[in-house]
């Protein structure tokens, strides 16, 4: 069924099938603005179009944020919130979670999906904190600088850069840019990071482009942009306020003479 805006004159884009024998790397023209200036202009336009996101979780419990972030992996926000609520209703404290059998933890978080993977990870993280600190608490991270707090978090079993950045930014109010699938995709299409830069390395590159005081709003704005316009299979470049700033890395367009499909 035709959808609004799907007329024949509309510019159409899609992700390039890199594994196809017909794949041709897109030709992009470098933008005249230097990269940091372009990143700031991207930030300004996103804020101008959609408003500046206000922090709503800063100074929350960092341990709760850590567990919630583990639960959020490969599932929706709603399911991860339900799983966390179920976990705390069942055990009431993280000390009891740490002492519980993995099977009981998995049963409590089943709503969030991948319970057999997440349950042992949560238990291992809590046990590691207990062994390192003598108690199950992460409030001591507030007194650390960002680099030291990040190092401690990534020393925990199964905690990578994105999870650590979520705790730093959302719970501790420290400067960090978590790179989820939306931030990674949008940043690559905009040419803010290279097309082959993995998410694990993207955070440090993005943090060099904008001032630390903008990290929260920049992160949230890129996510919102990725969900609303710069979608994975069918980005709406015809509606994008960043169109003239975007080299459309990894996309094929009718304007380039390459075939596109809807």
| 162 noted as active-site residue | yes
Q: Which of 123, 162, 174, 248 is catalytic?
A: 162
| Distance between CA atoms of residues 224 and 182, nearest Å | 8
Residue position matching structure tokens 């960002």: 146
DSSP assignments along the chain, one per residue: ---TT--TTS--EEE--TTSTT--PPP-PPPSS-HHHHHHHHHHHHHHHH-PPPPSSTTS-HHHHHHHHHHHTTS-HHHHHHHHHHHHHHHSSHHHHHHS-HHHHHHHTGGGS-HHHHHHHHHHHHHHHHHHHSSS--GGGGGS-HHHHHHHHHHSTT--HHHHHHIIIIIT--------HHHHHHHHHTTSS-TT--HHHHHHHHHTTS-GGGHHHHHHHHHHHHHHTS-SSS--GGG-TTGGG---TTEEEGGGT-----
CA angle 148, 178, 29 (to 5 degrees): 120
| Distance between CA atoms of residues 97 and 122, nearest Å | 8
Cα 129 to chain center, whole Å?
A: 25
Catalytically annotated residues: 162
């Amino acid at each position: 069924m035709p959808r609004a805006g799907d007329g024949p004159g509309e510019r159409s884009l899609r992700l390039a099938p890199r594994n196809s024998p017909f794949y041709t790397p897109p030709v992009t023209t470098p933008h005249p603005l230097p990269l940091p200036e372009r990143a700031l202009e991207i930030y300004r336009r996103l804020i101008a179009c959609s408003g500046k996101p206000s922090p709503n979780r800063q100074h929350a419990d960092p341990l709760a944020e850590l567990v919630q972030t583990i639960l959020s992996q490969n599932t929706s926000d709603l399911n991860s919130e339900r799983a966390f609520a179920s976990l705390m209703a069942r055990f009431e404290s993280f000390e009891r979670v740490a002492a519980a059998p993995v099977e009981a933890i998995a049963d409590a978080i089943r709503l969030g999906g991948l319970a057999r993977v997440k349950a042992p990870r949560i238990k291992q993280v809590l046990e590691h904190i207990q062994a390192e600190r003598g108690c199950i608490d992460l409030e001591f991270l507030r007194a650390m600088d960002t680099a030291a707090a990040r190092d401690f978090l990534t020393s925990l079993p199964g905690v990578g850069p994105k999870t650590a950045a979520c705790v730093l930014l959302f719970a501790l109010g420290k400067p960090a840019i978590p790179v989820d699938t939306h931030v990674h995709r949008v940043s690559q299409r905009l040419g803010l990071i290279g097309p082959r830069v993995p998410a694990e390395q993207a955070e440090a590159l993005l943090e060099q482009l904008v001032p630390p005081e903008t990290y929260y709003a920049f992160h949230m704005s890129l996510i919102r942009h990725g969900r609303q316009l710069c979608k994975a299979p069918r980005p709406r470049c015809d509606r994008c306020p960043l169109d003239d700033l975007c080299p459309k890395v990894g996309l094929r367009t009718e304007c380039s003479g390459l075939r596109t499909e809807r």
